[in-house]
Amino acid sequence: MKLLLTDSGVRNPSILAALVDLLGKPIAEASALCIPTAGYGGPYGDPGGPWRFVSGRSAAPMTGLGWKSVGVLELTALPSIDRDRWVSWVREADALLVNGGDTMYLCHWMRESGLADLLPSLRDTVYVGISAGSLVVTPRIGESFVDFDSPTADDSTLGIVDFSIFPHLDSPDRPETSMAEAERWAAEIKGPAYATDAQTAIKVTDVGVEVVSEGHWKLFDPAS
């Protein structure tokens, strides 16, 4: 699986170019499934957020990029659907667009639905995350980002990549995402980690990890 882990969606030409490169074809020739589930989780979740994401009306550009087709994959519904049926939908999609919201809620439903087990086998699929949709594939998110009362009772997530992410760096409406807070968070994580702003994404392929940015970001690496 190829990953484009965005902070706030496809916000600039550099991130857009990275997405097209991962797809290996124009967006207009690619099909996508969007996953709105995380937008319902956490104390701040409401129906409006998932609707804006699905309809392309959110501030985080994703479904409105001009895809050949876009479908909706709601993880909470998957346990009630024949597995072979929904797995075929996932395997046929060129991209999975994963909404932001509550990371631990999303992680719970990725595991509960069976999607988490399927993801590693999707060799040609491009996974595109926004915020929580990006954080969920990391090993852990840090206790400060835990809102949902996860059954695991900790901050561990799927661990598909080997680094963590501190999102929304220096966002003007989020004083808790300052660089000073990011540094405190990184000391807690004790592993490789990136702090990223709205103009930054992390591109992951078999070749390695590349930061794509027209903004600012920082790598925290205890081993260096």
Q: Model confidence over 100-120: pLDDT tens digits? A: 999 999 999 999 999 999 999
Scanning 162-211, the segments in alpha helix (DSSP H) are 179-189
Side chain identity, residue 47: P
Q: Give the pLDDT confidence score for residue 187 in this predicted structure.
A: 92
Q: How many separate helices (H) and strands (E) can be counted in the chain? A: 7, 10
Q: Whole-angstrom Cα distance, residue 224 to residue 211?
A: 18
Given a cut of 80, whether residue 34 has pLDDT beyond it is yes
Q: Whole-angstrom Cα distance, residue 47 to residue 52?
A: 9
Residue 125 is given by DSSP the state P
Q: Whole-angstrom Cα distance, residue 78 to residue 83?
A: 7
Given a cut of 70, whether residue 151 has pLDDT beyond it is no
The first and second tokens of residue 128, run together, are 């595109």
Beta-strand (E) ranges in the chain?
2-6, 31-35, 69-72, 95-98, 126-130, 164-166, 193-196, 200-205, 208-213, 217-220
Q: Whole-angstrom Cα distance, residue 197 to residue 184?
A: 17
Sign of the C-alpha dihedral, residues 176, 102, 164, 73? negative
Query: What count of other Cβ atoms lies within 10 Å of the Cβ of residue 192?
Result: 19
Least confident range of 51-55, 174-178, 189-193: 174-178
* Whether 34 contacts 99, CB under 8 Å: yes
Q: Give the pLDDT confidence score for residue 103 in this predicted structure.
A: 94
CATH node for 2-220: 3.40.50.880
Q: What is the mean pLDDT of the chain?
A: 93
Least confident range of 7-21, 170-184, 198-212: 170-184
Q: Give the pLDDT confidence score for residue 178 in this predicted structure.
A: 93
